[in-house]
Amino acid sequence: MEIIPLIKLKKRKIIDEDESSSDNIFEQIDEEQLLYILDLDGIEKDKPNLCTYQKLSKSYELWIDNGPRNLGDVVDAFMAGATRITIRKDLCLQLDIPSIREITENKIYININLEDQKTHASEDMFYHEIDGLVNFNNREKIRTDFRYNDFLKQFSIKNKIYSYESDPLNVSYWKNYGMEGLLVEIKKLQEFKKYAL
């Protein structure tokens, strides 16, 4: 199981889980490692931190989750250094994966929403167009909703799913679930690696 370090950007700064500014977090990871960038400025305010991506892309491979709203936003993320992107269906209402495929061969993931899955669970054709899913719903939400639980189990048989996790004790749960990897805060990276072995 892959353990991918995640950093959050807010107000143009890298922040911790408690939203305080964070310095020297990159000491724990190697250059050229894949980083998941959760850009809260992009997601919440449609103001992605493109300059920060450009700087980070000189040392790391970037998987960017910045809430693109249209094809132009997707192009901007790739031009700024992304090799993978996460699209949030609730923000990109005119989602057109074939148009994105025309401009890039990079990986395209979708952030799935528990409520959206309850109402649109029959979008099989849509899910065949993407490279995988990103799950930010916690373990308890999955266990308490059988439709979502069943969807994830079925999807993970043939496709990649990555899940955000903050508790290293849940690694075995996600392994048994068939997750491809976990997105974890950089400060907890070493702790997660111990449990992932």
76-96 core/surface letters (b: 16 or more CB in 10 A; e: else): bbbebbbebbbbbeebbeebe
The segments of the chain whose pLDDT lies below 70 read: 17-24, 114-127, 197
Which two structure tokens, joined as six digits, stand for 109? Answer: 């993931």
Least Cα distance to 190 among 28, 59, 38 occurs for: 28
Q: What is the pLDDT of residues 19-56, one digit of tens each?
A: 545 556 777 787 888 999 999 999 999 999 999 999 99
Which two structure tokens, joined as six digits, stand for 147? Answer: 């439709």
pTM (2 d.p.): 0.89
pLDDT value at residue 149? 78
pLDDT value at residue 121? 43
pLDDT value at residue 18? 57
The CA-based angle 7-172-83, given to 5 degrees, is 35
Least Cα distance to 5 among 39, 24, 22, 30 occurs for: 30
Domain range summary for the chain, segments of one domain joined by +: 2-196
pLDDT value at residue 80? 97
The CA-based angle 179-143-177, given to 5 degrees, is 20
- Domain made up of 2-196: CATH architecture: Alpha-Beta Barrel (3.20)
Whether 34 contacts 4, CB under 8 Å? yes
CA distance 66 to 85: 8
Write the single-letter amino acid at 32: E
Query: In whole angstroms, how far apart are CA 197 and each of 35, 87, 171, 184, 192?
Result: 20, 30, 10, 15, 9
Query: In whole angstroms, how far apart are CA 62 and each of 42, 53, 106, 164, 181?
Result: 15, 8, 11, 16, 15
pLDDT value at residue 129? 83
